[in-house]
Amino acid sequence: MTRSRITIVVLLLVVAGTVAAMAIMNPAWKSKYYQVRATVFRSLGIDLVPKQGPVKVVYKLARSPQTSTATTALIELKLVKDVDARDGRGRTALLYAAEGDNLDAAKRLVQAGANVNARSRDGMSALTLFALAGNAEAIRHLLSKGARAAEVDEAQRLLLFAVQRDDVALARVVLEGTKATVDLTPMLRAAAMSGRIQSARFLLERGANPAVRDWSGTSALDYARANGQPEMIRLLEGGTRTAA
């Protein structure tokens, strides 16, 4: 190794040490540390890819919308060999991104090959976590990339989310993207309680029954009447006659 090369390597190591110290105080700096360290290794002709550190960093970065670029840097530098690596809870980086409502990081991870249908040990998927965060755009994106609600509970949760937003387009995509058989009548009651006309109409067209009662003995039509919703009442009365 030439003297000039040794000098460059020493300087890079000093920079890496400084960035590493910064990383202790700020997780976002960890990506910079790994970038500098990778540069040092490449300058030495060493193909060294840390196996655990970068993956754990991606988990943390994925949850924060301010660090999507850092997440991408780790992936593009190929410091993370497996974007679907799991932590102790069985969660992947994509699941962390969904937990943190970080759509940008999720898109980058999916583009890098992340499994959109990955589930944690407790059965949580990116679809479910983004639904809990109230992110319809993220749900649409994942569905367009092949994500599917495999379980009935998950499909119902996503459909309820769509109904509460009166987002018929999303409700349609959710139903078309699941193999599970979903009981639409409870969703119709939810639509009636919250006055979601478009969703109620969509659910009636799909076969939901406005006359079926819940555990309290109340039907969708009863909820509409109790809330004084004339338009909803007319819609559900028409649906009751059709069901009869």
- What backbone phi and psi angles, to 5 degrees, belong to 134? 75, 30
Neighbouring CB atoms inside 10 A of 91's CB total 23
Number of domains in the chain: 2
Query: What are the structure tokens assigned to 19, written together?
Result: 């960035």
Angle between helices 3-25 and 28-43 (to 10 degrees): 160
- What backbone phi and psi angles, to 5 degrees, belong to 219? -100, 175
- Choosing from 111, 139, 157, the residue where a domain stops is 111
Residue 120: inside a domain: no
Both 34 and 81 in one domain: the answer is: yes
Residue 209 near residue 188 (C-beta atoms within 8 A): yes
CATH number at residue 172: 1.25.40.20
The three-class DSSP label of residue 119 is strand
Residue 114 near residue 84 (C-beta atoms within 8 A): yes
Residue 128: inside a domain: no
Both 1 and 106 in one domain: the answer is: yes
Both 94 and 159 in one domain: the answer is: no
Query: What pLDDT is stored for residue 214 in this prediction?
Result: 92
**Phi-psi sector, 217: left (phi>0), alpha (psi -120 to 50), beta:** left
Both 10 and 94 in one domain: the answer is: yes
Residue 243: inside a domain: yes
Both 100 and 155 in one domain: the answer is: no
Q: What is the enclosing helix (H) or strand (E) of 197?
A: helix 197-205
Residue 124: inside a domain: no
pTM above 0.85, yes or no: no
Both 77 and 10 in one domain: the answer is: yes
Both 95 and 34 in one domain: the answer is: yes
Query: What pLDDT is stored for residue 187 in this prediction?
Result: 93
Distances (CA, A) of 172 to 41, 65, 108, 159: 51, 29, 26, 9
Q: Whole domain around residue 77: which residue ranges?
A: 1-111
Say how far apart CA 213 and CA 189 lie, in whole Å: 9
Both 91 and 28 in one domain: the answer is: yes
Residue 130: inside a domain: no
Distances (CA, A) of 52 to 56, 187, 199: 6, 44, 46
Both 166 and 241 in one domain: the answer is: yes
Q: Label residues 3-29 b or e (16+ Cβ within 10 Å = b).
A: eeeeeebeebeebbeebbeebeeebbb
Residue 122 near residue 132 (C-beta atoms within 8 A): no
Both 3 and 94 in one domain: the answer is: yes
Count of residues making up the chain:
244
Both 192 and 101 in one domain: the answer is: no
- Choosing from 111, 139, 169, the residue where a domain stops is 111
Say how far apart CA 147 and CA 23 lie, in whole Å: 34
CATH number at residue 4: 1.25.40
Residue 34: inside a domain: yes
CA 10 to chain centre: 42
- What backbone phi and psi angles, to 5 degrees, belong to 183? -75, 115
CA 159 to chain centre: 15
Residue 191: inside a domain: yes
Residue 142: inside a domain: no
The pLDDT profile of the chain, 244 residues, written as one tens digit per residue, is: 455 554 555 555 555 555 555 555 555 555 555 555 555 545 544 444 444 454 555 555 565 555 555 555 555 545 556 777 777 778 888 888 888 888 888 888 888 888 999 998 888 889 988 888 888 889 889 988 988 887 788 888 888 888 988 989 888 888 887 777 889 999 999 999 999 999 999 999 999 999 999 999 999 999 999 989 999 999 998 866 555 4
Say how far apart CA 58 and CA 126 lie, in whole Å: 16
Query: What pLDDT is stored for residue 218 in this prediction?
Result: 94
Both 107 and 208 in one domain: the answer is: no
Residue 74 near residue 54 (C-beta atoms within 8 A): yes
